[in-house]
Chains A and B, each alone.
Chain A
Amino acid sequence: SQQGEEDPQALSIQEGENATMNCSYKTSINNLQWYRQNSGRGLVHLILIRSNEREKHSGRLRVTLDTSKKSSSLLITASRAADTASYFCATDNYGQNFVFGPGTRLSVLP
């Protein structure tokens, strides 16, 4: 089964609103990554958070990690239509290959 599971599966918001996506995983990890995939394109790395970090920021992105709950969240503030994409979390599988969740499809309406 998938290591990471994003929630919700789909999210639709108005431009300017904040979008929050969650990721839960099952095993111990070394780090967790978030990726974005625009329709018909490859995945693009957004941010990496290590297991000893609790929060990380990059521009309008804020990622939190709670290893006790085995969960992470990705917050996109002041969303734009260009943020419309699928967002995936990826966790290392016992330090081996990265395992991706099924993704959250975000639609930002103008």
Chain B
Amino acid sequence: DTAVSQTPKYLVTQMGNDKSIKCEQNLGHDTMYWYKQDSKKFLKIMFSYNNKELIINETVPNRFSPKSPDKAHLNLHINSLELGDSAVYFCASSLGQGAQGGELFFGEGSRLTVL
């Protein structure tokens, strides 16, 4: 069974479109994250949710809106896509928040290409 699964794996879309990425974890973790990995492999946190509540929002444009319907799911909706949004987006989860939360479990990534 996949621990952290995200869909779709690939998205190719035009500038200005809206797209969503879904993430689910079956580990019973309380905390979930969205990370963005750019073409140079830099991995930067975007959002963190703990038990459905937003904990971290790292100055991400308003076009990005996360939504956590329950603690096992964290989705990411992106409006008005721009060329610079092209990246690989990773969902991750951990037992708890911050340093005491232990290791992060990552999904396989969703590669977004904006044309």
A: residues with CB less than 8 A from B are 2, 29-31, 33, 35, 37, 40-45, 48, 86, 88, 90, 92, 95-100, 102-103, 105
Residues of chain A within 8 A (CB-CB) of B58 are: 97
Bound-complex Cα distance A43 to B91 (A): 10
Q: Are A100 and B99 interface neighbours, CB within 8 A? A: no
B: residues with CB less than 8 A from A are 4, 33, 35, 40-45, 48, 56, 58, 90, 92, 97-100, 102-109
Give the interface SS of chain A, mostly helix, strand, loop or mixed: strand
Residues of chain B within 8 A (CB-CB) of A99 are: 45
Whether A100 touches B43, Cβ cut-off 8 Å, given contacts A33-B103, A45-B104, is: yes
Interface hub of A41, A43, A86, A92 (most chain B Cβ within 10 A) = A43
Whether A42 touches B107, Cβ cut-off 8 Å, given contacts A30-B100, A31-B99, is: yes
Number of A-B contacts (CB under 8 A): 60
Q: Are A92 and B107 interface neighbours, CB within 8 A? A: no
Extra contacts besides A45-B103, A97-B56, A99-B45 (11): CB < 8 Å: A41-B109, A43-B106, A48-B103, A90-B104, A97-B33, A97-B48, A100-B42, A102-B40, A102-B41, A102-B42, A103-B41
Q: Are B41 and A98 interface neighbours, CB within 8 A? A: no
Interface hub of A2, A48, A100 (most chain B Cβ within 10 A) = A100
A-B contact pairs, 5 of them (CB 8 A): A33-B103, A33-B104, A90-B104, A97-B33, A97-B48
Q: Are A86 and B103 interface neighbours, CB within 8 A? A: no
Residues of chain A within 8 A (CB-CB) of B104 are: 33, 35, 43, 45, 90, 98
